[in-house]
Amino acid sequence: MKIFICAWIFILGIPTAHAADMQWTQEAKEAYALIAALRIDEGLTLIKLHALSHPDNAIWPYLEDYGEFLRIFVQEDLRKIPAYMEASDLRMQKIILVPESNPLSLMAQAQLLLHHCALHLQQGEFISVSDRYQ
């Protein structure tokens, strides 16, 4: 009986990762349209508002990353890249929790990686495939 109780306490003590969901809601589509129209501040405000009321939808970290990326890329403010990369890594951790059975999961992960690549290219950081695998 003691072994059973100890095992139960151990199992309950293990933190479990909450599988997030990712959905294109009407609000997400509106935020995306604002960002795509380069009304980035408005889009990010809408994202922050809806992320508070619907925190389980992992579309918000994806859209936030898109907005922040576009702001830096268009303004060419290279000083903001390190802070963006750190915040983007945190957003990626939220998106990774979305099961791969959701078609948006891998798409969003790939988009964040493309944002990183585009910023590296903008800074003139080129690397060839042969350099990468030597």
Look at the chain and report how many structural domains it folds into: 1
CA contacts within 13 A on the Cβ side of 1? 0
SS3 16: coil
Residue 132 lies in a domain: no
pLDDT tens track for 95-112: 999 999 999 999 999 999
Burial of 120 (0-12, 13-18, 19+ CB in 10 A): middle
pLDDT tens track for 1-50: 444 343 334 443 333 344 579 999 999 999 999 999 999 999 999 999 99
Residue 62 lies in a domain: yes
Total-model pTM: 0.78
Residue with tokens 């979305």: 98
Q: What angle do CA 55, 19, 61 make, to 5 degrees?
A: 40
> 21 φ, ψ to 5°?
-120, 160
Average pLDDT over residues 113-121: 91
Q: Which domain does 69 fall in, by range?
A: 20-126
Residue 9 lies in a domain: no
Residue 79 lies in a domain: yes
Residue 134 lies in a domain: no
